[in-house]
Amino acid sequence: MLYQADLFHQVEQHLRLEGILQEFESKNGPIKGRMMIQEVAIPEELNFSFDPADQVKGYMASFDFYEMELGIAYSHTQKKPASGIWFRPQEEAAEEPSKEWIEFFIKTLFENLTHETGIGMPIFSFVNDTSDFTLIPTVKNTKM
C-alpha cells in the first residue's frame, strides 16, 4: 500500500483535472499501478554504519499493489548506494516485490538523484505494462 495514499490521490486528481494522465493513458494504455518514493530515516534496527562525514540519506518506495516497502541508503557524498535493499512489511506475510519492481525503484531513484537543480520528495510514478509517468518535484538551486 502507498505510504501516503491520501497525498498520492490528491496529486493524481490534480493531474487528471489538468488532463495530463488522460493524455498519458491515451498514448500508453491505462495506469495499472502506482509507486511513491520518499526520503526516510534509515531504520536503526538495520545497524548500518556510515562515515559521519558522508552525507547518507535513506529512501523508501511504497506501491499500491504490494504490502511491502523497499528502502536503500544512498551516499550523496560518494554518489553511490551506501547499503543494500531492505524490506519493510506493511502487513504480516507480505509478499516481497519482484526483481522488476526493485529495479524500477532503483532506476527511478538513481536517475533523479543526480538532477542538476536538486530533487524534491516524494516522487510519484504511474505505471502500466509498457511505460511510466513519473512526477519529480524539483528544488531551485539557490547558490550563486
- What are the 10-residue block averages of pLDDT along the chain, 144 residues in total? 91 96 96 94 85 86 94 88 92 91 93 65 92 83 51
74: left (phi over 0), alpha (psi -120 to 50) or beta: beta
- Global pTM? 0.87
Contact call for residues 105 and 37 (beta carbons, < 8 A): yes
Q: What pLDDT does 117 receive?
A: 46
Q: Report how far residue 138's alpha carbon sits from residue 64's, in angstroms, rounded to the nearest whole number.
A: 24
Neighbours of 112 (CB within 10 A): 15
Q: What pLDDT does 62 receive?
A: 95
Q: How far is CA 20 from CA 26, 65, 123, 125, in A?
A: 10, 22, 16, 13
Q: What pLDDT does 87 receive?
A: 94
The amino acid present at 113, given as its one-letter code, is L
